[in-house]
Amino acid sequence: MSELDDRYVYHGVWTNQKDGPIMGQTITTDVRTSIIIVALLAVMSTIGATHLWNLLLFALHQQRASGNPEDALFRQQQTLLRTLPAPGSFFTEAIKLWWIWRRKQGKVFLRCFLPALVSLLFAISTLTASVFSSAIVSSSDIEVLVDSPYCGFRNFTRYFLKPATGERNYVSTYEDIGEAYAKECYKASSASQSGCKRIFTQPRIPFTLEDAACPFAEKMCAVKGSSAIAMDSGLLDLNHHFGFNLGAKDGVKFRRKTTCSVMPVKDYVGIYNVSELPKVLSDGLLSQPRLEYPGEQVVATQLGGYVFAANGTNSVGLATKFQNITALTSLLFLNASTGRYQAAGIMTLANRDKVPFKKKAVYNYDPIPEIVRTDADVVLMVVSIGGVNHYEPVYDPLFAATREYRWSAESVLLYKADSPAGTMGCAVQYQACVNRPGQADSCTPLGPLSSNAWQEDFPEASSTQKLLLQLIGHASWGMDFGNLGTLNAASTLNRGIRQGLPDDQWKIEAREQESRVWAVLQILLADYAIGAQVTEPNAHGYVNPLSTAAEKGLCHAMRMKKSGGFANINVIGLALILALSSFFIIADLVVLRSLLYIPQLRRRLAPRIDRWVQDGVLQLQRRAYEAHMVGTWQDIELPIPTTVTLEKLPELPITSRPEYSKSDLELFEMRSRIGTSSTAATKVERPGFLEKKKSFAQSILAT
């Protein structure tokens, strides 16, 4: 089983119901487009984080701007906040402040460490946000929605009854694919293999294996005590386990329980001459075409006969001793074979009289009364052993080999099979449930496969639920334990000889056959959306055209895995990054760039906003020039002060304290008087400002 072809992947927006109607909003696109989106998101998140940092610095500055007298370190920190440095620069400058002031006053480390820690945490958060922005775009082993023009429902009647080779090709193709997939992905050690995770949303369907009571009459189980095993899937959600993508109102659950045991050989296996067999048996149960050899004998498994007559009677015209023959294998074939196992599967439905194929004898096996179940379907696995030898005795009830045999070529002691044939019988039961929003699920009791695919069991079910039940029922009718693959016991044969077999080899075979059934069911259920014609071109002869809304809707309701070439974008994550980044950008531009130029808003935020303005670099530069009595300034309450005239300003000297002459101070006072302001609020503050300058100048003259 290979992964979904690129041609059948849906491109666009869809809802992954596994993650819910909100978080499951997904955009599937090609990898090239996703790379561009990842780059844009990274840029957007970085810009948004930068503006968020500016807002945080502004908020911290305003919280500290109380107007109370503070030490020089505090003023330097306020100036640092006002310059809006990047987190890395802020961290570095905070460490520098600590280093310079560490021996000049107490608690410097704490006062510098906390702001540095904030900047460091923000830098880490920004990095995390960048990773998150790329995480909303996934391109490795993603879930995609199937979109195929070949979607359609197999017509079950034509599938079984149409006399053409296309159906048989379809069956054999999917049996082979299912067997290969089960061997690869249903073993305990292989579930983590990457190849198994690139096809279905669930690599394998889980089921438990436990000891159980004999599923038939007690005498029909060869081993006493723990004589049977039960393999139970429990109720499986078709959305979760099979990849369907449906809302809760259309949910369906499905359960399969298989109970198996080894049947006794005595009284149920016989040897007959081919010449005495009725032609209906030899032609029907032995390989065709074939030649009959003189004296040829067959080994017969006798667990029930077949309905050959059109009126449904059993084995018309057969002698009593032949009426319960279930399977035949030529002893000539077995003896001539160099170490091989031959397995045949036989199945009967408890409701076979109600299925629409009785006249064509699709399910014409009629089991003996001891293994008849009205509450389960019956499946037999008949194993014929041809020329297989063992170095060690085998005590497994199905493959028992304790007869000693001396291989004369090398005088090696070998062990041969106790019987040329053995049988494992299983009772198979099913249960179906449909979701009912706001109520408990409606379920059928555990029982045989429904003859009408549970269409009459759930009158309240939606059309989509009924279609799903049909899919499950039809897939189960077509593929079951009766469609056997290669036996596990044959996997380690070397020229017809093997070391031995564990005592519970029959359980291993049962588990592997059950795994194969589930693998084929996975394939067949996905096959509705993909289309049977994709795998088997002849399938177009028995695929119905889409007619109902439910059939068309189910064509776009199958999720499968895709390992490359496509990417999924989480819509909520994308919207969240774009919305938050845009909000931070707009808030920063409005608060820190625009509000400072609107007098009405500034008055509402005064006096703290005025301290933000005055701690600006350009305002500090203006103050430095005024301290050196250079320039006549206006607009001193705005972020950008200007000179009254276009005068030339010299570079500021390096000395920390300017030296004034008497004439300088007089000129300084005159310039202060003619300094103007653009707002009424500043004109009110101007006289007090001039008094401070006069006091400062007089203190200089006094010295």
What pLDDT is stored for residue 685 in this prediction?
Answer: 40
Structure-token pair, residue 597: 């130029």
What pLDDT is stored for residue 331 in this prediction?
Answer: 85
**545 part of a folded domain:** no
Tens of pLDDT, residue by residue over 557-571, are: 999 999 888 999 999
What pLDDT is stored for residue 687 in this prediction?
Answer: 44
What pLDDT is stored for residue 683 in this prediction?
Answer: 36
pTM of the full structure: 0.79
**169 part of a folded domain:** no
Whether the predicted pLDDT of 148 surpasses 90: yes
What pLDDT is stored for residue 224 in this prediction?
Answer: 61
**546 part of a folded domain:** no
Separation between Cα atoms, residue 470 and residue 551, nearest integer Å:
11
**603 part of a folded domain:** no
**512 shares its domain with 591:** no
Whether the predicted pLDDT of 166 surpasses 80: no
Whether the predicted pLDDT of 98 surpasses 90: yes
Structure-token pair, residue 566: 């496509």
User: What percentage of the chain's residues is helix, strand, coil (to nearest 5)?
Assistant: 45, 20, 35
Indicate the SS3 state at residue 442: strand
**587 shares its domain with 643:** no
Whether the predicted pLDDT of 125 surpasses 50: yes
113 pLDDT band, cuts 50/70/90, is very high
Domain count, the chain: 3
Quickly tell me which residue has 């081919």 as its tokens: 274
Whether the predicted pLDDT of 156 surpasses 70: no
380 pLDDT band, cuts 50/70/90, is very high
**153 part of a folded domain:** no
Residue 140, amino acid: S
**578 shares its domain with 516:** no
Highest mean pLDDT: which range of 29-38, 119-128, 161-170, 230-239? 230-239
Separation between Cα atoms, residue 613 and residue 599, nearest integer Å:
13
Range of the domain at 656: 616-702
Tens of pLDDT, residue by residue over 284-317, are: 777 655 677 888 888 999 999 887 654 445 554 5
Give the helix/strand (H/E) hosting 379: strand 377-386
What pLDDT is stored for residue 303 in this prediction?
Answer: 92
Separation between Cα atoms, residue 614 and residue 634, nearest integer Å:
13
What pLDDT is stored for residue 514 in this prediction?
Answer: 93
Whether the predicted pLDDT of 213 surpasses 80: yes
**421 shares its domain with 327:** yes
**258 part of a folded domain:** no
- The overall average pLDDT reported for the chain is 83
Give the helix/strand (H/E) hosting 134: helix 108-135
**471 shares its domain with 578:** no
**301 shares its domain with 430:** yes
Average of per-residue pLDDT across 220-232: 81
**304 part of a folded domain:** yes
